[in-house]
Amino acid sequence: MDLTEFTITQAHEGLKKKEFSSVDLTKAYLEKIKKSDLNSFLSFDENWAIEQAGEADKKIAKGDFGMLCGIPCSIKDAIMVDGQKCTAASKILENYVAPYDATVVKKLKEAGAVILGKTNTDEFTMGASTENSAFGVTKNPHDKTRVAGGSSGGSAASVAANEACYSLGSDTGGSIRLPASFCGVAGLCPTYGSVSRYGLIAHASSLDQIGPMTKSVEDAKIVFEIISGKDPMDATSANYKFEESKTQIKGLKIGVPKEYFAEGLDKEVEGIIRDAIKRAEKAGAEIVEISLPNTKYAIACYYIIVPSEASANLARFDGIRYGLSKPGNDLLDVYVKSRGEGFGSEPKRRIMVGTHSLSSGYYDAYYKKAQEVRQLIRDDFAKVFEKVDLIFCPVAPFPAFKIGEKVDDPLSMYLVDLYTGAVKLAGLPGLSVPVGKINGLPVGLQIIGNHFQENKILSAGMWIEKN
């Protein structure tokens, strides 16, 4: 019996029946991590993990424990875990140790979860392939010559390779859903505000969202229920209580955006996604062709707003307060040397683009205009959700690509966010569910819901997974 293959539900049942202990479970995962060559983890603390498992076993012995108690997980290395390194996969934070827990981590700890370690990411979560990490690329467990997706590539790979039972990632433009699709796991990007961002190293504050990456959609629901809700430490968090939905596919109106099935979509990916849509139609769902006319502006709009917010957020990494600090002749010299050596090429690119977009004389032409377009994109989705319950579409235009294939072409890398970026600009929830494979490479179906309708997308995802 390989303990690392269990879902959260199965592991919980095993712990309840005393078939194994949390320590047994944790040791099994640690062995996998130690033998792995995927580079999914940037750090893990074996002694601390076993200590946490021992505490969980005490709770389990008393018989009063929740679904996550004693279950080992991994955390993306942009989310604070008190006393553990938090590098955001950047040289500038290489030796930074988190002084507190992110709210989501606090909630996991209260639930008795066992934290194994921190997973690899694109530097400051900027990228779609985890190739921008200062500490090496994460390989796809299905084909080690290919990327795991990004930016939460380490989280997705750790779950897909059974190196963690589940993981927390973050999504700014597709960073949970893309790697989930590429690695064949379930990935939920919740509605903006439904999960606290306190303790997540900021990339673009009006888009960043923490969410679960799991072996099944049911597991995503379990984790989401625990991490969601209002947080006094995050003013943008909503007073939201997850309520399970018994939504059946029968009778649902499912929108299929014509703009998402146009040029650029791999034919085999399209075939797999259309098959999933047909299954829903056979089960009694009504399929409606919809239009999101401003989709064509989404990538341009996203890549003005995100770098603008990133340039402001990354200003704090200046070699003075924390992280890498290089001595210089004066203050400016310290800034230039610390930031010049500490940041990789993608953060530098975004800082420059963002600073330009926000600068005097260009603000109205770029940032202000992008925010106006963002409202049009929101309006598109609002109109569509007056007619349909859910939207079904691809997560990515193609399956996982080869490591190094797009690394010298940032624009073609940005197009990977084609079907995920607009959803984030509108603040909507999206779920990636594995629905097929092309030559052994997983393909995910994206299920998009209206604001705070995670219950609908999760129940539809569970149906898709079982049928």
Angle between helices 22-35 and 46-62 (to 10 degrees): 160
Active-site residue (options: 74, 151, 216, 311): 151
- For the record, the structure tokens of 285 come out as 């769902």
User: Cis link prior to 151 (omega < 30° from 0)?
Assistant: yes
- For the record, the structure tokens of 368 come out as 């202000």
DSSP letters for 219-230:
HHHHHHHHHBS-
Active-site residue (options: 22, 158, 175, 228): 175
Whose structure tokens read 């893309």? 178
CA distance 134 to 120: 9
CA–centroid distance for 299 within its chain: 18
CA distance 219 to 164: 13
Distances from the Cα of 100 to the Cα of 112, 338, 457, angstroms: 17, 24, 33
Q: What's 195's DSSP letter?
A: B
Helix (H/G/I), strand (E/B), else coil: 245: coil
Q: What kind and span of H or E run contains 288?
A: strand 286-290
Helix (H/G/I), strand (E/B), else coil: 249: coil
The answer to whether 170 is a known catalytic residue is no
Nearby residues of 274 by Cβ (< 8 Å), 6 or more positions away: none
CA distance 107 to 71: 14
The answer to whether 175 is a known catalytic residue is yes
| C-alpha dihedral, 216 to 217 to 219 to 225, nearest 10° | 170
Q: Is the dihedral of CA 120, 185, 274, 399 positive or negative?
A: positive
CA distance 397 to 102: 33
The answer to whether 76 is a known catalytic residue is yes
Active-site residue (options: 32, 76, 107, 221): 76
Whose structure tokens read 């989705």? 381
Q: Which sequence positions are flagged as catalytic?
A: 76, 151, 175
